[in-house]
Structure 1
């Protein structure tokens, strides 16, 4: 199916009006470029040099980029950076900086640049799942109103959207007053140490300080935010939860498998009790910013008692006991997604024990991954595991995986920032509802996962805002497509995403 037919097939399924910044021919050409982009197998892994499984695929991508976006490569300063020069740093010099360089405005206060982020890499596709894909994961197929392929949502759509938006603006003769940077890393999916971390260090060495960082993050729920609001909702991450993996090391006497112990002291039995306790007794709930701001934002569209309570607990005057009640009795129990907003999540991601079928193993290791709320510490995690171990505590010890320290949650960016207002305006100007009832709602939130933005916070004066302007239908299971089977983005949403980025660049960059 060609992109024009695909576009028509998708219109009826969406609650949003069509975008207006791209004519049909421009959208078709952009979709064709995006399809090609998805065909590059830019998979990252922490176990290989440069964190790139196939470095030649990244190099082929680098050869293709200037041919796909010639106006951007001719207008912006483009550097190949990162480990192995497999990432990108682009600089769109603002007219204010040019004037200051000419000493025409030497007395003027500096206008700090703004940084836009996305990443080139994708997660791998398991060979055993290939037959379950509707279209091959690196085909970039355009069919049924969608563009299919690994990275269609996470996050080649961000790279393509930003470059398409910049291209449209260049063609109109627009230039930013403020200098804009674009950084596209090579290994965000495995932590960003070879890409984003090195780019941030490079900018810091050059004395660059930015006013705000925009990165991938919350998407747009076309079905609202189940189980609360059904009105379409765009989420903007103001902070990211922290990350820590702790190994629970179990010690036991071992022995011959023909004479197992009667007291439940085997390594397997102790490990099983700890895993069961983690599953049945998750960490305690706590309600804090930016989740309080999220609840306040969706209160009016959430029916019943929950909506009333969300409105109250979103106020700074709300009593602690009421916040505790809402966190524990509602968010902590409603869905896994809402529970992750109010607790340090604990997930068992590994269990190893045993080396022979006739030997009781003398040890076992339970790997527990935690995502930390703002304000939580590693000590909170060890205290939780100590409580979980209970009477088995003499048989276990805890250690950080790989000897690494826990990564704390990022600071919470202010929802009162003028940049939040600009992002909200850009999203709402594009994502209007075709039933005429207005625009998508926009709410701040807490990100459960990590992004490259964390590496740039030391050089950002205003923090980071995390949003990807495409829609997902949670009720239909679209969230499972991210890193999962049949990753795809609708043709219509790809166009809307380009329009959001175009408007955001205009609002943030100012007019020359």
Structure 2
């Protein structure tokens, strides 16, 4: 019996040693073909227009065209996985695993994008241009990257006849840029109705930062977001009789509302101590770096941003009304009620009316000690090499807000290596990623899926060359 077990283990080791590593296995298309298919998705104008945009409106036809494009580019995914269309446009793919006792994992993203015009771009943002090793177009980073690369990973695995043990879901919303209330909110509600919970969910987040992305970043660094801020959006307004500018009252509507906005802006929320925030990412920087870089200093406190102002109709007419819009991002440990009460105390003027436009409490903090996080971290290191992987707070809000009840293990990351200038193209001019980065994103999702299949479960030699059999790499 002992000899039999020993022989089995020896054969397992030998088989594992002669199988090629996952990273070295050729994918099913050339890099240029992968890039071309990604570029094709960028030509489809799945735009989320702001509700205040009176000149443009939602075009559902483009979103259906995008869905049809996915059908043509990922035939095996559509033949094997169950696809559910949620609220007309959002998509949920289910790749059934063989072991139903294992909780599924979720890879989330969105395929709506913000508007773009050709002005200021090197190439038309809707052409999906491949130029000098880069793929240009609106949505390359935010967020068709995740949608296309995760589907490419599964298409390659299906081509290799890989059968997962753990079920994988791909959840893609169509209105993240507007808050996700018609996309991921509906997907989340559907999952709750099916009593589905998850082992882990990963969604968009900060990019993998190149050296010198920020002062103090001395090595390529992946920031995995384990929480995100809450928010409070509101407007303040004042109404007065107005009149001729030659006979002004002691205070005008504009003056009153400006004073209120100034009171809020000039009394920032206090910083939280680094020891309370417990961010591996912020611990990389000294106090001077943090104080002088808004990207960093914003992680220490609830922030305040005066974003819009509306008043007046003519230069010699006193405005009868004035409105200002203000945006707070609320740090973990604080809450909406405290933020709102502090605003009212600072304004302290009964003439000023406050109307809440939206609010959300800060997210729960996902544990970095969880096995799920360790597997995300190891997947990153396998694909991107000797990089630093740290936890911290996501700099903005994501659709993960709709999934807090699905799993305690929610992680946020954009699988693209960027300088700060390159990352700034997101929502700006010349949004792009390199072909090499796109290939690595595909490999990352493939590696991530495999990590969650084999760790702690595989007891025999892998049956497919796509299996990741390195048990010592799992920390299980």
When normalised by structure 1's length, the TM-score is: 0.79
Matched, 1:369 2:327: yes
Structure 1: which 5+ runs fail to align? 1-18, 98-109, 307-325, 433-438
The equivalences for 1:131-146 within 5 A come to 131-146=119-134
Counterpart position of 1:398 = 354
Counterpart position of 2:225 = 237
Contact 2:113 2:138 in 1 (8 A): yes
Alpha-carbon distance, 1:172 to partner: 2.2
Matched, 1:55 2:60: yes
Counterpart position of 1:466 = 412
Q: Distance in 2 between matches of 1:421 and 1:294?
A: 14
Select 1:334's aligned residue among 292, 295, 302: 292
Matched, 1:414 2:367: yes
Q: CA 1:44/1:93 → structure 2, altered by over 3 Å: closer, same or farther?
A: same
Counterpart position of 2:203 = 215
Contact 1:52 1:187 in 2 (8 A): no
Alpha-carbon distance, 1:25 to partner: 4.8
Alpha-carbon distance, 1:118 to partner: 0.9
Matched, 1:190 2:137: no
Counterpart position of 2:272 = 286
> What do you get for the CA RMSD once the two structures are aligned?
2.4
Q: Distance in 2 between matches of 1:150 and 1:195?
A: 20
Counterpart position of 1:318 = none
- SS at 2:405 equivalent: helix
Counterpart position of 1:453 = 400
Counterpart position of 2:471 = none
Q: Distance in 2 between matches of 1:54 and 1:162?
A: 25
Q: Distance in 2 between matches of 1:378 and 1:268?
A: 27
Q: CA 1:21/1:123 → structure 2, altered by over 3 Å: closer, same or farther?
A: farther
Q: CA 1:271/1:330 → structure 2, altered by over 3 Å: closer, same or farther?
A: farther
The equivalences for 1:92-241 within 5 A come to 92-97=95-100, 110-125=101-116, 127=117, 130-241=118-229
Contact 2:227 2:364 in 1 (8 A): yes
Q: Distance in 2 between matches of 1:83 and 1:217?
A: 25
- SS at 1:95 equivalent: coil
Counterpart position of 1:321 = none
Contact 2:372 2:409 in 1 (8 A): no
Alpha-carbon distance, 1:347 to partner: 0.8
Select 1:76's aligned residue among 70, 77, 81: 81
Alpha-carbon distance, 1:211 to partner: 1.7
Matched, 1:271 2:288: no
- SS at 1:481 equivalent: coil
Give the number of equivalent residue pairs: 431
Greater displacement, 55-64 / 245-254: 245-254
Contact 1:238 1:445 in 2 (8 A): yes
Q: Distance in 1 between matches of 2:154 and 2:133?
A: 25
Counterpart position of 1:349 = 307
- SS at 1:341 equivalent: helix
Whose helix proportion is higher, 1 or 2? 1
Contact 1:116 1:213 in 2 (8 A): yes
Alpha-carbon distance, 1:249 to partner: 2.1
Contact 2:28 2:156 in 1 (8 A): no
Q: CA 1:457/1:386 → structure 2, altered by over 3 Å: closer, same or farther?
A: closer
Alpha-carbon distance, 1:280 to partner: 3.6
